[in-house]
Amino acid sequence: MSIETKSNWSVVAACFAVLIVEGFDLAMFGSIVPSLREYEPWGVDASVIGYMGAAAVFGMLVGALVAAVLVDRIGRKPVVVGAVVLFSVSMGLSALAPDPTVFLGLRLLIGIGAGAVMPTVAATLIEFAPVDRRSRNSALGFIGVGIGGMASAMLAVWLVPAFGFRAMCLVGALPLLVTVPVLIRWFPESPSVFESRGRTAQAMSTRRRYGLSDPEPADISEASRTRLSVVFGDGRGRGTLLFWTATFCCLLVTFGVSTWLPDLMRSGGYGLSGALWFLVALKGGSVVGVLIAANLADSFGQKPVVAVTSLCSALALLALTAMPPVGVAYILVAVVGLGTTGLQILINAFVGSYYPAQVRGTGLGLNLSVGRVGGILGPVYLGWLVSIGIGFDAKFYALALPAFISAVLLALVPTRRSGMPMQLHPDRKVK
């Protein structure tokens, strides 16, 4: 194995490590919802649970906006390290929360940290991958989210009934001791960040070390030097808006399902322990399925694969309305996992490939920021449906519709344009 190949895998490994921790923290909330609803000192109802779930997603919107502003300016490494410290410490403090208001506030901080991590890591995985392995390397890094979620769900099966929700929160803070040193040692800074600061020697050294190709030629007009204008310029505006709307729909379904799946399946007669195992199936489907889908995306194109993946999720949600036998239900939930968390991994790779390297972090950050609005609405939307007492099947119909819409929007995205040259004045840099 060449030195460059080893170095590239070290980037994937560092991203994988941080996303395991993030995946654990985000999935943990869904696993403790039944415990929170039964925690008598707080007496929270379904609507409050929905707001708690939405608080983390609103924080992710804020975090993604922060990343969009900072990641291509101050660098990716400080953003990632600071974000991991924020959401891990907040996770530990939530184990000590005296009331629902403090708990909700800490969920907000967890979301801010997680929201800053995701676009930053996605941009890094894409930049440090060979062009023909962008989807695969992104999937290999981002399956950490699914594995972290699986670990959270499996631990919850034993820990929550025995010790309650506070024990899960406390466990979520422990990986901080390992993850931050790994990031400091292995997470690389972007060559494009060095170049934007005029540190060309460091940029060239980083490119040689990781076996990266030369930077894309500059080609943005005088009137299009800001990052936002690059995101919308050169014919990318339609694709950008389609990505934003599709991500909105995808994350609405993702966070609606992640927050309420155990409770929904329990209402369908599957039992508490079985309901928690559905979370394992959900995350397992995202891990296994996205690896297969990512290989297909690199071989046959990203657009058809992401559109079909979203369509499969919608069909699986419709099939769950029939309350099938438990074995069939696990398979259908795994397909939903591929079409929610797994789909967002594929969309991140698709979006990252759509923009030039100089604004890739900005493009991803903006896309996830807008998409997080859907994520905020997902838990509240499902919480409202639960609180008004609609039927089991109607809740899944309500999730299938935005999944169908996402599939259509992704199929309409124009041919990617990241390979288009950028025109920059030779003495000017993208701001």
Q: How much is the pLDDT for 67?
A: 82
Q: What is the mean pLDDT of residues 61-89?
A: 85
Q: How much is the pLDDT for 427?
A: 37
Q: Cα angle vertex 305, ends 299, 307, to 5°?
A: 160
Q: How much is the pLDDT for 7?
A: 59
Higher pLDDT, 2 or 78: 78
Instruction: Answer whether residue 222 shows pLDDT above 60.
Output: no
Confidence of residue 416 (pLDDT cuts 50, 70, 90): low
Distances (CA, A) of 397 to 132, 194, 279, 309, 324: 37, 48, 19, 18, 15
Q: What is the DSSP letter of 374?
A: H
Q: What is the mean pLDDT of residues 403-431?
A: 63
Q: How much is the pLDDT for 99?
A: 92
- At 72, list the tokens: 């291509």
pLDDT digits (tens, 9 = 90+) for 317-343: 999 888 888 889 899 999 998 888 888
Instruction: Answer whether residue 146 shows pLDDT above 90.
Output: no
- At 358, list the tokens: 């100089």
Instruction: Answer whether residue 246 shows pLDDT above 90.
Output: yes
Higher pLDDT, 232 or 163: 163
226: left (phi over 0), alpha (psi -120 to 50) or beta: beta
Q: How much is the pLDDT for 216?
A: 54
Q: What is the mean pLDDT of residues 126-132?
A: 78
Instruction: Answer whether residue 130 shows pLDDT above 90.
Output: no
Instruction: Answer whether residue 110 shows pLDDT above 50.
Output: yes
Q: How much is the pLDDT for 90?
A: 92
Q: What is the mean pLDDT of residues 165-187?
A: 84
Higher pLDDT, 169 or 283: 169
Instruction: Answer whether residue 404 shows pLDDT above 90.
Output: yes
Q: How much is the pLDDT for 214?
A: 63
The answer to whether the beta carbons of residues 220 and 429 sit under 8 Å apart is: no
Q: What is the mean pLDDT of residues 27-53?
A: 84
Instruction: Answer whether residue 109 shows pLDDT above 60.
Output: yes
User: Rounded CA gap, 122 and 363, in Å?
Assistant: 11
Higher pLDDT, 301 or 408: 408
Higher pLDDT, 358 or 69: 69
Q: How much is the pLDDT for 112?
A: 92
| Lowest model confidence (mean pLDDT) among 37-46, 51-60, 208-217, 345-354 | 208-217
Residues 6+ apart with CB under 8 A from 24: 148, 149, 151, 152, 172, 175
- At 351, list the tokens: 């979006």
Coil, strand or helix at 227: helix
* CA 90 to chain CA mean position, Å: 19
Q: Which of 93, 127, 408, 369 is nearest to 228 (CA)?
A: 369
Instruction: Answer whether residue 207 shows pLDDT above 70.
Output: yes
Confidence of residue 215 (pLDDT cuts 50, 70, 90): low
Instruction: Answer whether residue 220 shows pLDDT above 80.
Output: no
Higher pLDDT, 135 or 39: 39
Q: How much is the pLDDT for 315?
A: 95
Most confident of 20-34, 44-58, 279-293, 319-333: 319-333
Higher pLDDT, 422 or 376: 376
Of all residues in the chain, the percent with pLDDT exceeding 90 is: 17
Q: Which of 122, 410, 139 is nearest to 248 (CA)?
A: 410
Instruction: Answer whether residue 290 shows pLDDT above 90.
Output: no
Q: What is the mean pLDDT of residues 169-174?
A: 85
Of all residues in the chain, the percent with pLDDT exceeding 70 is: 88
Q: Which of 142, 116, 163 is nearest to 15 (CA)?
A: 142
User: Rounded CA gap, 153 and 282, in Å?
Assistant: 10
Instruction: Answer whether residue 103 shows pLDDT above 90.
Output: yes
Q: How much is the pLDDT for 275?
A: 66
pTM of the entire predicted model = 0.69
Most confident of 160-164, 361-365, 387-391: 160-164
Q: How much is the pLDDT for 270?
A: 72
Compute and round to an integer the Cα radius of gyration of the chain: 21
